[in-house]
Amino acid sequence: MNLPLRALLIVSLTFLMAACATSGGGHAGPPPLESNLAEAYRLGVDDVVQVSVWGNPDAGVTAPVRPDGMISVPLLGDVPAGGRTPPEVAQDIQTRLQDYVKDARVSVILTELHSHEYLSRIRVTGAVRQPVSIPYRPGMTVLDAVLAAGGVTEFAAPNRSSLHRRSGNGTGSYQVRLDNVLTAGDLSTNYTVAPGDVITVPERLL
């Protein structure tokens, strides 16, 4: 095979793979929750965070964000947390701890979410037994949310369901083949939900 023909085949295969990845059969799902939550979520008053310092458990703490936006950290005292993401707070604490702990490595994990309880709810609408707005829980999936709504009605078109998620670039919509999840055990579109997600189940066409 000559070189130009081989190059043409490679380009053709590349476009074909890209088309398959973005087609309905590829189930292009929402972005990973790590980027959605850990990086984007900004702490608010009454949220509880766990500060861990690798190799120095006495320097860690589990603390709420106070009304002044501060958390109290051993060795450092007050550290601003309100309006910042957990990674930002971790980096600030890590920098400040260098005077006390050599090669400090710090992680900050949100353990209890209280400040944005309304914004952090999961909503299920459409052809379900009872449209609901439920509190977000880590690890919750589309199926968990739909079951909390009592399941789908006899008028539903489950395989045309959608998950809507707001991001920095607007709102993304992702197809959920809910009938496959419920009746066939196909969990490929049983996505893990994020705070603020909306799941819609349309009615079937008559």
Query: What average pLDDT values come out for the chain (206 residues) when binned by 10 residues?
Result: 41 38 52 54 89 91 94 94 93 93 90 76 95 89 96 96 83 92 93 92 88
Q: What is the pLDDT of residue 146?
A: 97
CATH 3.10.560.10 in the chain, residue ranges: 119-206
Q: What is the pLDDT of residue 38?
A: 47
Residue 198 one-letter amino acid: V
Q: What is the pLDDT of residue 31?
A: 65
**What does the alpha-carbon distance between residue 147 and residue 150 come to, in Å, rounded to a whole number?**
5
**What does the alpha-carbon distance between residue 161 and residue 123 come to, in Å, rounded to a whole number?**
13
Q: What is the pLDDT of residue 192?
A: 93
Q: What is the pLDDT of residue 116?
A: 73
Q: What is the pLDDT of residue 33?
A: 59
**What does the alpha-carbon distance between residue 111 and residue 138 come to, in Å, rounded to a whole number?**
10
CATH 3.30.1950.10 in the chain, residue ranges: 38-112
Give the CATH architecture of domain 119-206: Roll (3.10)
Cross-sheet strand order for the sheet of 161-167: 132-135, 121-126, 198-201, 161-167, 170-176
Q: What is the pLDDT of residue 22?
A: 36
Domain 38-112: top CATH class: alpha beta
